């Protein structure tokens, strides 16, 4: 059931890619069609002004899901429904959605001055009356993200990685975005810079009531900023719930494995298990529970029967043993 404050409702969304060889060569080799299940039957809702984080290893389908949410990838099945909201400027309609990418350099036009990069959506969406108001807004946005008004005349290559990510954020805010899909926005940055960008994002969320869908392979990155957390494995959610519950009492063996790999400042001497094994191919997922080949607790049932995602209070979990 969608809650009153729901801004995005995703229902049974799947994305499959046909990665078969060309039809002619399959005709001669009798090779069957190969379907890659990047995202499989994923449902969740995001509440306005909160952060919903999706965590999983490389290849588990996080980016495909993010691309579906921003409309860059069509779902093969299912629905992604943005609810109409009352925006900060008083207008009513679907939220403005923007994406922030991992590599801020690749997403900023290197030949444009920063001022023009940020001004482009303001001009395109006619969000300010004239060039003078646009320039003022660009300067304000640069200050909001911790840069200076004078930075408008510089080029992206003159900035550090963290500063470039600040420019990407300013550009997203320039569109008056309500909903930011952040795909590993800090993983290309040094750890100390990561923290600065995360702090900036938390501050902006409070200041502007932003909603985040935050994608990361690293649980420690999302730990302090998530309201809701979903753990993804081979295209499916295996555990999801309020972040404090998932962190405080992880139920799925995969969530526990992900948690085991991150340092704990409160227990620096805690034994950390390295992540072992690899994510299986989404073209030929293992039978039963997709995680069973890597699960130390797996029993016979896990090898033959896929666990359904079942609800327990606010948590959802797909494991026969949890
Ligand atoms: N356009 C595409 N065509 C075919 N396969 C694709 C396509 N896009 C993604 N995939 C495959 O879908 C699976 C999920 O990819 P996705 O990029 O969503 O995972 P991810 O969890 O974001 O990983 P990473 O962190 O490495 O980007 C992978 O096996 C990937 O190779």
Q: Whose CA is nearest to atom 5 of ligand 1?
A: 17
Which pLDDT score, from 0 to 100, does residue 84 have? Answer: 95
Q: What's the average model confidence in pLDDT over 178-186?
A: 94
Assign 1 a pLDDT band (cuts: 50, 70, 90).
very low
Maximum average pLDDT range among 84-98, 129-143, 279-293: 129-143
Q: What is the pLDDT of residues 197-247, one digit of tens each?
A: 999 999 999 999 999 999 999 898 898 899 999 999 999 999 999 999 999
CA–CA gap between residue 65 and residue 63 (Å, rounded): 5
Question: What is the position in ligand 1's atom list of the atom closest to the CA of 56?
Answer: 21
DSSP category for residue 72:
S
CA–CA gap between residue 188 and residue 251 (Å, rounded): 30
- Tell whether ligand 1 has an atom less than 6 A from the beta carbon of residue 59: yes
Ligand 1 mutation target, pool 14, 61, 185, 284, most atoms within 8 A of CB: 61
CA–CA gap between residue 277 and residue 184 (Å, rounded): 23
Kindly state the percentage of the chain with pLDDT values over 90.
76
Q: Which residues contact 142 (CB under 8 A, 6 or more apart)?
A: 114, 118, 148, 149, 151, 152, 170
pLDDT of residue 276 exceeding 70, the answer is: no
pLDDT of residue 268 exceeding 60, the answer is: no
- Tell whether ligand 1 has an atom less than 6 A from the beta carbon of residue 17: yes
Ligand 1 mutation target, pool 20, 33, 38, most atoms within 8 A of CB: 38
CA–CA gap between residue 112 and residue 141 (Å, rounded): 17
Q: What's the average model confidence in pLDDT over 243-262?
A: 91
pLDDT of residue 311 exceeding 90, the answer is: yes
Assign 266 a pLDDT band (cuts: 50, 70, 90).
low
- Tell whether ligand 1 has an atom less than 6 A from the beta carbon of residue 72: no
How far does residue 134's CA lie from ligand 1's centre (Å)? 38
Which one, of 165, 195, 192, 190, lies nearest residue 180 by Cα?
A: 165
Which pLDDT score, from 0 to 100, does residue 88 have? Answer: 78
pLDDT of residue 264 exceeding 80, the answer is: no
Question: What angle, 0 to 180 degrees and rounded to 10, lies between the N-to-C axes of helices 161-174 and 114-124?
Answer: 20
Q: Which residues contact 291 (CB under 8 A, 6 or more apart)?
A: 233, 234, 238, 252, 253, 254
Assign 115 a pLDDT band (cuts: 50, 70, 90).
very high
The mean-pLDDT minimum among 157-166, 209-218, 260-269 falls in 260-269
How far does residue 76's CA lie from ligand 1's centre (Å)? 15
Here the tokens at position 72 are: 């860059």
The predicted model scores a pTM of 0.92
How far does residue 69's CA lie from ligand 1's centre (Å)? 15
Assign 280 a pLDDT band (cuts: 50, 70, 90).
confident
Q: 246 versus 275: which is more confidently predicted?
A: 246
Question: What is the position in ligand 1's atom list of the atom closest to the CA of 63?
Answer: 22
How far does residue 217's CA lie from ligand 1's centre (Å)? 13
CA–CA gap between residue 118 and residue 97 (Å, rounded): 16
Q: Whose CA is nearest to atom 3 of ligand 1?
A: 17
Q: Which residues contact 130 (CB under 8 A, 6 or more apart)?
A: none
How far does residue 64's CA lie from ligand 1's centre (Å)? 6
All domains in the chain, ordered by first residue = 46-73+81-96+179-317 (3.40.50.300), 103-177 (no CATH)
CA–CA gap between residue 3 and residue 107 (Å, rounded): 34
Question: What is the position in ligand 1's atom list of the atom closest to the CA of 65?
Answer: 18
- Tell whether ligand 1 has an atom less than 6 A from the beta carbon of residue 27: no
Mean pLDDT (the chain) is 91
ipTM for the whole complex: 0.96
Here the tokens at position 150 are: 């004078």
Question: What angle, 0 to 180 degrees and rounded to 10, lies between the N-to-C axes of helices 131-144 and 161-174?
Answer: 130
Which pLDDT score, from 0 to 100, does residue 275 have? Answer: 60
**Dihedral angle sign, alpha carbons of residues 169, 172, 175, 176:** negative
Q: Whose CA is nearest to atom 31 of ligand 1?
A: 59
Q: Whose CA is nearest to atom 20 of ligand 1?
A: 59
Q: What is the pLDDT of residues 12-60, one digit of tens each?
A: 999 999 998 777 776 777 778 899 999 999 999 999 999 999 999 999 9
Q: Is the Cβ–Cβ distance between 319 and 253 less than 8 Å?
A: yes
How far does residue 61's CA lie from ligand 1's centre (Å)? 6
Q: What is the pLDDT of residues 68-98, one digit of tens each?
A: 999 999 999 999 999 999 987 788 999 999 9
For the chain, the 3-state helix, strand and coil shares in percent, each to the nearest 5, are: 35, 25, 45
Total Cβ atoms within 10 A of residue 293: 14
Q: Which long-range contacts (CB under 8 A, 24 or more apart) does 121-128 make?
A: 121/171, 121/174, 121/175, 122/174, 122/175, 125/175, 125/176, 127/174, 127/175, 127/176
């Amino acid at each position: 059931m969608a809650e009153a404050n729901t801004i995005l409702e995703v229902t049974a969304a799947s994305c499959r890619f046909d990665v078969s060889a060309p039809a002619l060569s399959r005709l001669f080799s009798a090779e069957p069609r190969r379907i890659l299940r990047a995202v499989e039957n994923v449902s969740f809702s995001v509440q306005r002004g909160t952060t919903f984080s999706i965590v999983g290893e490389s290849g588990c389908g996080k980016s495909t899901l993010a691309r579906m949410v921003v409309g860059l990838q069509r779902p093969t099945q299912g629905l992604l429904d943005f609810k109409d909201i009352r925006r900060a400027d008083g207008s009513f309609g679907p939220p403005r959605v923007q994406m922030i990418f991992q590599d801020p350099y690749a997403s900023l036009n290197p030949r444009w001055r920063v001022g023009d990069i940020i001004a482009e959506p303001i001009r395109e969406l006619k969000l300010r009356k004239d060039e003078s108001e646009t320039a003022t807004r660009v300067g304000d946005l640069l200050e909001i993200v911790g840069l200076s008004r004078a930075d408008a005349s510089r080029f992206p290559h003159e900035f550090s990685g963290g500063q470039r990510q600040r420019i990407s954020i300013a550009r997203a805010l320039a569109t008056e975005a309500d909903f930011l899909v952040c795909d590993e926005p800090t993983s290309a940055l040094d750890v100390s810079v990561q923290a600065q960008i995360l702090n900036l994002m938390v501050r902006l969320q409070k200041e502007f009531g932003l909603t985040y869908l935050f994608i990361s392979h690293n649980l420690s990155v999302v730990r302090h900023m998530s309201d809701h957390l979903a753990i993804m494995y081979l295209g499916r959610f295996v555990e999801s719930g309020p972040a404090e519950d998932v962190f405080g009492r992880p139920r799925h063996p995969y969530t526990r494995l992900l948690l085991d790999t991150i340092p704990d400042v409160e227990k620096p001497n805690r034994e950390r298990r390295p992540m072992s094994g690899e994510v299986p191919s989404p073209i030929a997922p293992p039978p039963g529970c997709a995680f069973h080949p890597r699960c130390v607790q797996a029993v016979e049932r896990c090898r033959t029967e896929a666990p359904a995602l079942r609800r327990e209070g606010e948590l959802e979990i797909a494991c026969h043993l949890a």
